A and B are shown apart, each in its own frame.
Chain A
Amino acid sequence: MSSLGPHADFIIASYAVTALVVVALIGWIAADYRAQRRVLGDLEQRGVTRRSQRSGGDAASDAT
């Protein structure tokens, strides 16, 4: 293993920025998933259904 030498600041900053961006991306996607699940749960609890669910067909045929 080598030491980081005279340019250690640049190397550490690169890894720190990368970690920050990746963690932010993971956090944003996870938070979005929880938010969509919560809203979907609320709507289902109020008895709102998709057209495909009403017709008893495959829910997936309702595109998305």
Chain B
Amino acid sequence: MAVIDLANPTRFLSLVDRVLPWLAGATALVFAYGLYRVIGAPDDYQQGATVKIMFLHVPAAWLGMMGWGVMTVAALGTLVWRHPLADVAGKAAAPIGAAFTFICLITGSLWGRPMWGTYWVWDARLTSVLVLFLLYLGMLALYWTAEDPNRSARAAAILALVGAINIPIIKFSVEWWNTLHQPASVMRMGGAAIDASILVPLLIMALAFTLLFFTLHFAAMRNEILRRRVRSMRMMQARSA
């Protein structure tokens, strides 16, 4: 099957039906192995056992940003290439990205209280992630209140492109401003600043969360295609009545 064939929703649905069980199985296996490695990971010499929160917080942060990245690519697909599945992909990614950003905020807050002495501080990193979450909520409101998906697609694509400006702000906020949040310790010049005994479980958990993201995204895209079919059939029924 050529990649261009995936522009065809029926072929895409057939691909999702075949791929989804394998993707879900792989997600469960990698999660099981990741959690096993997390349990065996040593405490941090400064943060003690609270470093275990990092195995959730960091992948959730990455995927919160990746969700918006998916929506940005989908927005280009909608506005530039008018790809039939682009808006479907964007709409399906929004609640998943919002959920991961929510997990990032909550786990960060629960990690901050014992380490910083506060659940929240208005520093650049925390505030820019909160802005990302609010952008997700705005996107969901736009999608869920629009009756006609064709009308909401263009507005959602523009919002996705505008909101994409926030992604590099999140990434570089810890370098551009003086923040309570620590600087990057995995994706940075000069390599990761974390010991392998903690870095390896973190990367396995990041892979597990990424697989989970794509499993849920594919399933949500399938739902959205079916929802639009239902809408199309109801319109046909109304016309012929």
Contacts and interface: CB of A to CB of B under 8 A. Distances in A.
Interface of A: 1-8, 10-11, 13-15, 17-18, 21-22, 25-26, 28-30, 32-33, 36-37, 39-40, 43, 46, 48-51, 58-64
Interface string B21-57: 0000000000000000001101100001110110011
A33 B219 contact: yes
Interface string B132-152: 000000000000000000000
Contacts of A61: 8
A8 B13 CA distance: 44
Nearest to A59: B10
A1 B102 contact: no
Nearest to B43: A2
Given A4-B49, A14-B107, A43-B237, A58 B10 contact: yes
Chain B contact residues (Cβ within 8 angstroms of A): what range?
35 or more
Interface stretch (B70-78, B154-162, B166-174, B225-233): B225-233
Contacts of A2: 42-43, 49
A11 B38 CA distance: 12
B229 A21 contact: no
B233 A50 contact: yes
Interface of B: 8-12, 39-40, 42-43, 48-50, 52-53, 56-57, 60, 84-85, 88, 95-96, 99, 102-103, 106-107, 110-111, 113-114, 212, 216, 219-220, 222-230, 232-234, 236-237
A51 B231 CA distance: 12
B10 A40 contact: no
A21 B232 contact: no
Given A25-B99, A49-B233, 12 more contacts: A2-B43, A4-B49, A32-B223, A32-B227, A33-B219, A33-B222, A50-B233, A51-B236, A58-B10, A60-B10, A64-B224, A64-B225
